[in-house]
A and B are shown apart, each in its own frame.
Chain A
Amino acid sequence: MHPFGDLSAYLDGALSSEARASVQAHLDTCALCRTRLAELRGTARLIAALPMPVPSRSLVPRVSVPVWLAPLRTFSTFASGAAIFLFLASAVIAAFPRAQSAGTAAAPAPALSQPAVSGAGDSASVQPSSQNFQVSAPSGAPAPRTADTVVASATPAASANEIGRQDSVGVPSNAAAATRENSTAQPANPFAFLLSPWLWLVLAIAFAALSFAVGRRLRSA
């Protein structure tokens, strides 16, 4: 009886010592089994010699993430929120141009209207204050009088400011001229672009997109 069924296991060294010895003894006397064994050995070697297929891409799953990825998502989320807030704030500011230009016109207008007011004849409001400063510096004796005149000059100065403001509201062309003079007289604000709503809207969208992308990467790990 040929132990054909054991030949592969014999080849692979998977037989018990008794079975192995039995097959060995048979092989010593059986040429057919020796041929069969050689054929099985040749088959096994051919299988082992098959060309190795290689994958076209990496098959290792990306389960590790850089440590800075989670903080980056947190930062982008907060930055997006802050940008949305600034977008809304700058949009509100941009929506009320009167308040903006009135605020900038009020500053130069009194300075211009004071000479105008004093030119109109109310010079007592301006000159006493300068005189009082000169007088009050050297001695303390005239102090009570200077205090009175300072208070007296303060109220005309305040009223002059009020006149100036009323002038700027009532005469928009003057205010426009004042702002134009103001803008040409002073250098342009380099940070004016920060008030642009579009800037903050774009930043808000960009940070939100970044946060979303990083979040997807974190979830896929």
Chain B
Amino acid sequence: MRPELGGASDVLLDRARRGDARAFEQLALEIERPLYRHAARMLGHDDAEDCVQDALLSAWRSMASFEGTSFRGWVFRIVTNRALDRLRSRKRRPELPLDPPSENDDSVSWAEPIATGPEVADLAADREALLVVEDALAMIPADQRAALLLRDVEGFAYEEIATITSTEIGTVKSRIHRGRLAVRNILISRGWKGSAG
């Protein structure tokens, strides 16, 4: 799912760290599309372009102080933080549902499938299910959405997501589970039969 970083990228990273602007542009070109899809799913298309461009510019300006080995994780961290900041300042869409204070995941409810019948729409077709998933992602809390996208779309490991979101692995685990469960519940409520995959 995730592209393996080859030796060429390490060379580019080294050169970019020493101020080679062309090397940085090459790195940015490789990561431009994944960053954009992440920002678009977090923010919507309108603000995603500006968010990514600002994040890449910010990455270039602080390139000299970058000490890690994963340029990809580092830039995703910048984009995720900017997206979350922008969502907080927006506050135009109330987040549903609110994070329950309890950390006990067993208390999170699982929606039961609607009783089968001829009037129940069958969401077996992936295309319809994908539309539902797109809507569902926009409805869950931003922290859960970020963790879920980083895991299922971008393929980051839990440890990497913890670094990107500046949290602990336990928090990452909880957010991913709650987010996935919320999306699953919305799917079930729209008649999804579930375990087709």
Contacts and interface: CB of A to CB of B under 8 A. Distances in A.
Interface of A: 1-2, 4-9, 12, 14, 35-36, 38-65, 221
A38 to B, nearest CB: 3
Interface string B12-38: 000000000110110011001101110
Interface stretch (B83-91, B92-100, B103-111, B114-122): B103-111
Contact of A12 (B48, B57, B176): B176
Dominant SS among interface residues on chain B: helix
Interface residues of B, number: 55
Interface stretch (B3-11, B65-73, B146-154): B146-154
A61 B60 contact: yes
A38 B194 contact: yes
Given A44-B152, A64-B22, A53 B157 contact: no
B8 to A, nearest CB: 17
B122 to A, nearest CB: 14
A48 B152 contact: yes
Given A55-B48, A57-B49, A46 B25 contact: no
Contacts of B168: none
Interface in B114-157: 126, 129-130, 133-134, 137, 148-149, 151-153, 157
A4 B184 contact: no
B49 A56 contact: yes
A64 B12 CA distance: 14
Given A4-B106, A14-B158, A61 B183 contact: no
Contact of B21 (A40, A52, A57, A63): A63
Q: Which 6 residue pairs spanning A and B have beta carbons closest together? A: A5-B105, A38-B195, A64-B21, A42-B197, A8-B177, A53-B40
A49 B1 contact: no
B65 to A, nearest CB: 16
B180 interface: yes
A48 B153 CA distance: 5
A158 B180 CA distance: 110
Contacts of B40: 53
B24 A49 contact: no
B181 A40 contact: yes
B176 A2 contact: no
B62 to A, nearest CB: 13
Given A14-B157, A46-B129, A46-B183, 14 more contacts: A5-B105, A5-B174, A8-B177, A44-B151, A47-B152, A48-B152, A51-B130, A52-B37, A53-B48, A55-B32, A59-B49, A60-B28, A61-B25, A62-B25
